[in-house]
Structure 1
Amino acid sequence: MENPFISVRHLTKVFSMGDEKVYALRDVNLEIARGEIICLLGPSGSGKSTLLNALAGLEKPTKGEIIVGGIHLEQLNEAQVTLFRSLNVGFVFQSYNLIPTLNAMENVTLSLMVKGVPKKEYEAAAKRVLSLVGLGDRLYHRPNQLSGGQQQRVSIARALVGKPKILFADEPTGNLDTKTSFEVMDLIKRIARKENITVIMVTHDEEMTVYADHMLHMRDGAIERHTRKNEGTNRSAAERQEVREIIAAASQGGRDND
Structure 2
Amino acid sequence: MDQSPRETAHGTPRGLAVTARGFGLRGPRGWAFRDVDVDAAPGSLIAVEGPSGSGRTCLLLALTGRMKPTEGVAEVGGLKPPRHMSALRRVSALANVPGVTDLEPALTVGEHLRERALLQRRFGDAPRALLRSRARRRAQAREAAEAALTAAGLDVAALPKGARTAVRDLERLEELRLSIALALMSGPRLLAVDDADHKLSGAERAEVWDLLGSLAASGTTVLAVCSEAPGGAVVVSTAGPAEPGTADGDGTADGGTGQEGGTAGDGTARGGGTAEDDEVAAPGGTAEQGTPADDRTTTRDDTPVTEDEEGAADALAETGRS
Normalising by structure 1, report the TM-score: 0.72
Q: Considering fraction of residues, name the structure with more strand.
A: 1
What is residue 21 of structure 2 aligned with on the other side?
9
Three-state SS of the structure 2 residue aligned to 1:74 is coil
**What are the Cα deviations for residues 93-132 of structure 1, in whole angstroms up to 9, with x where unaligned?**
2768222333223313423312326333222211222133
Aligned counterpart, 1:102 = 107
2:176 and 2:56 mapped to 1: Cα distance?
A: 22
> Whole-Å Cα distance in 1 between the matches of residues 197 and 52 of structure 2?
17
Number of equivalent positions? 212
2: CA distance between counterparts of 1:175 and 1:44?
A: 13
Q: Secondary structure at the match of 2:42?
A: coil
Between 1 and 2, higher relative CO (CA 8 Å, sep ≥ 6) is seen in: 2
Displaced runs of 4 or more, over 6 A: none
State the Cα distance separating 1:136 from its structure 2 match. Answer: 4.4
**Cα distance in 1 between the residues matched to 2:67 and 2:146:** 33
Query: Within 5 A, what are the aligned runs for 1:90-129?
Result: 90-93=93-96, 97-116=102-121, 118-129=137-148
* 2:233 matches 1:213: yes
Matched, 1:222 2:295: no
Whether the 8 Å contact between 1:90 and 1:162 is mirrored in structure 2 is yes
CA contact (8 A) 1:108 1:155 kept: no
Q: Deviations over 1:212-258 (max 9, x none)?
A: 421222314212x53226xxxxxxxxxxxxxxxxxxxxxxxxxxxxx
Instruction: Percent identity, please.
Output: 26
> In 1, are the aligned partners of 2:149 and 2:181 still within 8 Å (CA)?
yes
Distance, in Å, in 2 between the alignment partners of 1:124 and 1:140 is 18
Q: 1:150 to 1:15 in 2, by over 3 A?
A: closer
Q: CA deviation at 1:34?
A: 0.6
Match in the other structure for 1:253: none
1:157 paired with 2:181, answer yes
How does 1:40-189 map onto structure 2 within 5 Å?
Answer: 40-76=48-84, 81=86, 84-85=88-89, 87-93=90-96, 97-116=102-121, 118-132=137-151, 133-137=153-157, 138-189=162-213
- TM-score, normalised with respect to structure 2: 0.59
Structure 1 residue runs without a partner (length 5+): 230-258
Cα 1:185/1:27, change in 2 over 3 Å? closer
SS in 2 for 1:124: helix
Q: After the TM superposition, which of the residue ranges 120-129 and 110-119 deviates more from structure 2? A: 110-119
* Cα pair 2:93 2:192 within 8 Å, conserved: yes
For 2:40 and 2:67, the matched residues in 1 are separated by 19
Distance 2:198 2:20 in 1: 27
Letter in 2 for 1:10: G
CA distance in structure 2 between the aligned counterparts of 1:145 and 1:46, rounded to whole angstroms: 31
State whether structure 2 residue 198 is matched by structure 1 residue 198: no
Distance 1:43 1:152 in 2: 20
Q: Is the 8 A contact 1:94 1:174 kept in 2?
A: no
Alignment check: 8 A CA contact 1:11 1:66 kept: yes
Shift of 1:40: 1.5
How far apart are the structure 2 equivalents of 1:100 and 1:48? 25
CA separation of 1:13 and 1:94: change in aligned 2, threshold 3 A: closer
Say if 2:64 and 2:88, in contact at 8 Å, map to a contact too: no
| Cα distance change of structure 1 residues 131 and 187 upon mapping to structure 2, 3 Å threshold | same
CA distance in 2, matches of 1:50, 1:209: 21
Partner of 2:20: helix, strand, or coil? Answer: strand
Q: Which residue of 2 aligns with 1:233?
A: none
Residue type at the aligned position of 1:135: D
CA deviations over 1:128-170 (Å, ceiling 9, x no partner): 2213314142434322343222222111111111111111111
C-alpha contact (below 8 Å) 1:40/1:202 kept by paired residues? yes
- Tell whether the 8 Å contact from 1:108 to 1:158 is kept in structure 2 after alignment: yes
- Give the CA deviation at 1:23: 2.7
Q: CA deviation at 1:197?
A: 1.1
